[in-house]
């Protein structure tokens, strides 16, 4: 296979249905999870945040209403005048 390294068109796998879709057509979604480590005997309560970017194909994204969520996120950003995402 004549593989050309084109970073932009790297296919991604939909985490919902496992279909591989071109990145340009996939819907990226940031998944945030919080871990809290409760250390016994210590007063410190360490809370760790981890975020991972996951991808959905269009149909899964629609099904899970991720596109709507993203729209809302963008609207909120626009309201704040945050234009960094438009770069």
**Which residue in 12, 27, 57, 66 binds Zn ion (CB under 5 A)?**
57
66 sits near Zn ion (criterion: CB under 5 A): no
16 sits near Zn ion (criterion: CB under 5 A): yes
Q: Indicate the SS3 state at residue 62.
A: helix
C-beta separation of 24 from 55 below 8 A: no
67 sits near Zn ion (criterion: CB under 5 A): no
Could you tell me the smallest distance in angstroms from the CB atom of residue 62 to Zn ion?
Answer: 10
Q: Compare residues 28 and 46 and give the one whose CB is closer to Zn ion.
A: 28
């Amino acid at each position: 296979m004549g593989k050309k390294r084109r970073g932009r068109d790297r296919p991604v796998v939909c985490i919902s249905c496992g279909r591989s879709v071109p990145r340009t057509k996939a819907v990226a979604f940031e998944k945030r999870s919080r871990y809290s480590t409760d250390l016994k005997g210590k007063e410190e309560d360490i809370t760790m945040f981890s975020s991972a970017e996951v991808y959905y194909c269009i149909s899964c994204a629609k099904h899970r209403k991720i596109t709507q969520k993203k729209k809302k996120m963008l609207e909120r950003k626009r309201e704040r005048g945050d234009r960094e995402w438009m770069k």
